[in-house]
Structure 1
């Protein structure tokens, strides 16, 4: 602080301080540095008759005492301002160490401007102290009165500046709270990051001790080494915000490595279970695929070409899909043995997709025969099921209305006509049952969409 430097004479050439100025500085330092009991003992002696000082009675003694009191008060104000500035500088340094926002930059600039103002009033005070030697035996009463005036003025300026400093510090409250919060987070965040890195390393060691390789996890953990080095170098070198971000990043990445390492034994066991399960399923599908040909044979014998033509490729496609699945299973087994966990998982997903599609195709043949048998035996059940869905939708469309909305009535009327046309396809010697079934399904789907539309519109209007 410029005021403190000026008060102590720091930075001046040796011997450049005058005798009166030196005595004045000693007076200031005495007030600032002496313990309170010593000050209490010293102050009365300065005004008593003892010592080397010669006092003048009457008016001169009173004015000298008033000047000395003004000097003491100014010194106290100077000390309070210096203390406040030191404390405020710590706050500013805390803010600028953490916050680089425009608000923080303005606060630092405003503090520098206040510092210049403090330098001015401090210089005024020190000049007043240096100019008047109140310890002189021949001090004139008028000189003492003038000294009292200047010292009082200096004290008032010091107090006024101190008030400005106090108001400025109050305005810094939000910025300082934010900075202190971040600083309070710093040490725990860095420690959590270090502990998480250690835990990840320990988890990796445990996995390797169990005979599992984790090369990808080891590489990811090694990549965090430079980040740990920067954390150890501290916020003083890399900044508080950057260090907090780095600690959070290390915590997240190391935590992910640790979690994956801890799950690795379970993951290996799960891959082993899936290999066995999918291999068993592939064998079962091979058996089921052999049953498609007899089903197709019965479909050809009993129903028209349109009822089974699309199922003709199923046996060949099923056999090919099962072969592909078995090949992928072998590749997945090799990946498991080499502990290439992502490759093994991906290959098993491919096997599952192939077997699912094969299962659907094989099941479709048997389901087709079952449905065709049912409708051939009693088509009326399918007709009534579809007509009931249409009538139910018509009742909903008329609920609370004299006439239905055209956008609801039109598709329902079309559905009635479409069902009637589907029923006519059952006439003749070789009815197309599959066309009939697909038409009734399409009618019910249309009716369901109309019902959903009606309910949504009425729900929005309620």
Structure 2
């Protein structure tokens, strides 16, 4: 290729001109690199700020201020690229075009410098606000790390279980679920904000705790199984003894109260006999599985027997407890209603100190329910069980209303 500088008499002057052009291009490129770096760094931080602190982003000038600067920077970069397209590589230009390149390079420098300086001023104004991003990212990282640590603890418990010689599919499956959840959380971590992260992190921790509990508690149950089997036999005998008065209590319910007050217990005696028989029959298979070292089978059998015993205990006491409660209500039903009226009055006094809606409507509904409940006492054979259960629901409704109201007031105070 022939040289663009053929004339020896002009070579010296041309070399000086080329040197000036190279220096001007270097200054232009330096400003471009500065703007490009600022645009990427600050732009990324502003994007994180908008994602992690959306409420603040809507109320400060951080995002709109950067949007204007970003547009200016993009325009300056496009102008820079246009200059290079027209005048570079300058080493290959005809000597007569080098001067024009120098002029174009030098004119491009101030525009880029002004953008960089504008970004510096922007950072002076909003740097502290953007600094919140780092604190939020740190809190988010700690939250995600805590979730992952919960899986680590579950894995440690599982390894300890395995080293002790226990093999329990239920614990294996629970740990696998926790690991899958933790892996999915790690995959989306970069896209999560502090509000978005709480729910999946809590899911990981819940699954990890379930796995850790199983790996800890199931072996503990197996270690004490030799003592639990005779204990279960004793409990079965105790329930059988208590069941001897069950017919007496059911008879009292039938004599003293309307059918609606005890019809849900009518088959309790039959179910109790079934549960006790099932529990007794389950003891021998449980002993065999334990003796054979079948951990999973022994735990499953233990769960079935304990479930039968637990349900039998509930059944055997249900008629007695129902009879005692109904007799108490029958002796003084007005005392039951008066306690409900007092709870409603107390709640109404509390609500007067705050906004009436929607709390007033909920309280009125409970008051109307109490009036309806009072009508249950009319007639020769009141349904005392319905009276009692509906009054208990009124108390639960009042408690829920008060809790919601106080939470709302606390939230308003924080805002």
Q: Aligning the two structures, in what range does the TM-score lie when normalised by the shorter sequence? A: 0.3 to 0.5
TM-score, normalised to structure 1, is 0.41
Would you tell me which structure has more helix in proportion to its own residues?
A: 2
TM-score, scaled to structure 2: 0.46
